[in-house]
């Protein structure tokens, strides 16, 4: 029996892609009878006391609240809290066998260190994105000159923390091949310690709608049947390319009067409102929605847009494809597995002399106009992308690869690689 203990922090990304990853992974893993799963949600503000909930057979959720007087950025308090988490898990760990600790974010590092001190069980870390991407908005040039191994500022310390966590892990999982190359070249992680396992989704949870059902759902959600719904789903933040999207959309609105942009998610909404004063009536903000409500919007969407400046593997992209929505994507490394013109329309990336990433809003506008005005093209792109999704991104394949990795780690756990620790600030 494999006992998988997955750690889930209160990081904002857990409400979006990382949270979806955990749901998809656990849902598919449970199809294997020889695995038991505990999802440990720590710093959970929804709970005041330690709580264990049974979600399904062999599937448990452990909720650990945030201390009342918590100084999250104080390393001494982080260590105390990590010890408390490990103490609360002690009985569960002692009662089970074949344990794997599964980490997802740099906030997990203090807990990882305590667990490694107390147990010899394997630890894996999944890299959902790199910290430098978030810190520098995808600008690789800003990595030059950083002293990551001896950090002297918050930026260097954040990247060092990520590197330390991956170096201390028994195995590292990346979700695309470019991430693996970066880990080898920049973080000096041995190739044998890295596996590339693509994100997957349960495609059967998503449905394509016919024209009559789409009209019915549009009316139910308050939209006119003639409107072309352009859908964005994710964090409404600059790194998601939201500013380029809104600029392109407002240009397209000057040419076509049946376009509506729907933005699902939370973030820098005021910045967007300042950009679209002429077209307030053409943009809908839904805020944060449940997965079931998001699926209703997928069913009415005519075009999906994922205009990210960086993106290792967007779950909203996979879900839109599974829902039969034709996509406009930015030409970045995380989307390079798709074919131009056959499976999506790409917006080319432009890198300035200083390394900043830009997209041409005229090119973006033309893509919107092209897809919204050509139903045959939209249908062809959506169908081709769907077939490709079946081959590359099924949750069952992701779970199969992860099960194989878990079993190999349990059977052939290697001695820890020697690692020179750097003192915390």
Per DSSP, 57 falls in state: T
Going by pLDDT thresholds of 50, 70 and 90, the confidence category of residue 199 is very high
- CA torsion 301-302-307-308 (nearest 10°) is 40
Backbone phi, psi, residue 64, to 5°: -120, 120
Backbone phi, psi, residue 250, to 5°: -65, -35
Going by pLDDT thresholds of 50, 70 and 90, the confidence category of residue 168 is very high
CA pair distance 154, 160, nearest whole angstrom: 10
**Mean pLDDT, rounded, for 49-74:** 85
Strand 99-103 relative to strand 59-64, pairing? unpaired
Average pLDDT, the chain: 91
56-to-202, 371, 386 alpha-carbon distances in Å: 18, 43, 30
Residue 138's SS3 state is coil
CA pair distance 253, 368, nearest whole angstrom: 10
Q: Does residue 159 register a pLDDT over 50? A: yes
- Please write the tens of the pLDDT for every residue from 253-263: 999 999 999 99
Residue by residue, DSSP assigns 317-386 as HHHHHHTT--EEEE--GGGTTSPBTTTBEEE-EEE-TT--EEE-HHHHHHHHHHHHT-HHHHHHHHHHHH
The vertex-257 CA angle with 256 and 262, nearest 5°, equals 100
Contact, 365 vs 373, CB < 8 A? no
Q: What is the pLDDT of residue 73?
A: 57
CATH superfamily, region 203-392: Glycogen Phosphorylase B; (3.40.50.2000)
- Please write the tens of the pLDDT for every residue from 311-358: 988 999 999 999 999 999 999 988 887 766 689 999 999 999 999 999
Name residues whose C-beta falls within 8 Å of residue 277's C-beta, 6 or more positions apart in sequence. none
- Please write the tens of the pLDDT for every residue from 134-157: 999 999 999 998 999 999 999 999
Q: What is the pLDDT of residue 219?
A: 95
- Please write the tens of the pLDDT for every residue from 352-400: 999 999 999 999 999 999 999 999 999 999 999 999 999 899 999 999 9
Structure tokens at 306: 């994922």
Q: What is the CATH number of domain 2-201+395-411?
A: 3.40.50.2000
Domains of the chain, residue spans: 2-201+395-411, 203-392
Per mean pLDDT, which range of 10-14, 194-198, 224-228 is the poorest?
Answer: 10-14
- Please write the tens of the pLDDT for every residue from 65-90: 988 765 555 778 889 999 999 999 99
Contact, 106 vs 134, CB < 8 A? no
**Mean pLDDT, rounded, for 286-300:** 94
Backbone phi, psi, residue 182, to 5°: -65, -45
Helix 75-94 vs helix 109-118: angle between axes, to the nearest 10 degrees? 50
Q: Does residue 424 register a pLDDT over 50? A: no
């Amino acid at each position: 029996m494999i006992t998988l203990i997955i750690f889930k922090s209160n990081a904002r990304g857990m409400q979006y892609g990382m949270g979806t990853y955990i749901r998809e992974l656990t849902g598919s893993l449970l199809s294997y009878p020889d695995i038991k799963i505990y999802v440990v949600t720590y710093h959970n503000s929804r709970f005041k006391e330690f709580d264990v909930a049974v979600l399904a057979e062999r599937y448990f959720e452990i909720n650990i609240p945030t201390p009342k007087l918590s100084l999250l950025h104080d390393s001494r308090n982080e260590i105390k809290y990590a010890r408390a988490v490990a103490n609360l898990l002690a009985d569960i760990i002692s009662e089970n066998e074949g344990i794997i600790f599964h980490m997802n974010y740099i906030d997990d590092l203090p807990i990882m260190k305590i667990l490694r001190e107390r147990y010899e069980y394997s630890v894996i870390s999944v890299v959902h994105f790199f910290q430098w991407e978030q810190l520098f908005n995808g600008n690789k040039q800003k990595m030059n000159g950083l002293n990551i191994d001896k950090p002297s500022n918050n930026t260097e310390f954040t990247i060092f923390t990520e590197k330390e966590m991956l170096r201390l892990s028994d195995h590292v999982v990346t979700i695309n091949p470019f991430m693996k190359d970066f880990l080898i070249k920049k973080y000096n992680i041995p190739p044998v310690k890295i596996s590339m396992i693509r994100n997957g989704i349960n495609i059967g949870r998503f449905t394509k709608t016919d024209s009559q059902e789409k009209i019915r759902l549009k009316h139910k959600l308050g939209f006119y049947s003639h409107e072309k719904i352009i859908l964005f789903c994710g964090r409404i933040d600059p790194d998601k390319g939201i500013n380029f999207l809104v600029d392109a959309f407002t240009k397209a609105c000057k040419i076509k009067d049946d376009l509506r942009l729907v933005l699902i998610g939370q973030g820098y909404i005021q910045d967007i409102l300042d950009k679209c004063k002429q077209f307030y009536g053409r943009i809908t903000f839904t805020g944060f929605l449940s997965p079931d409500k998001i699926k209703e919007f997928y069913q009415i969407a005519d075009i999906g847009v994922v205009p990210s400046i960086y993106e290792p593997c967007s779950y909203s992209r996979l879900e839109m494809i599974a829902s039969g929505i034709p996509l406009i994507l930015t030409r970045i490394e995380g989307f390079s597995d798709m074919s131009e013109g056959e499976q999506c329309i790409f917006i080319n990336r432009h890198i300035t002399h200083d390394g900043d990433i830009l997209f041409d809003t005229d090119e973006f506008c033309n893509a919107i106009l092209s897809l919204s005005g050509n139903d045959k093209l939209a249908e062809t792109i959506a169908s081709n992308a769907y077939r490709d999704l079946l081959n590359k991104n099924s949750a069952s394949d992701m779970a199969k690869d992860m099960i194989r990795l878990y079993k190999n780690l349990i059977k052939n756990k290697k001695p820890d690689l020697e690692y020179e620790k750097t003192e915390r600030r």
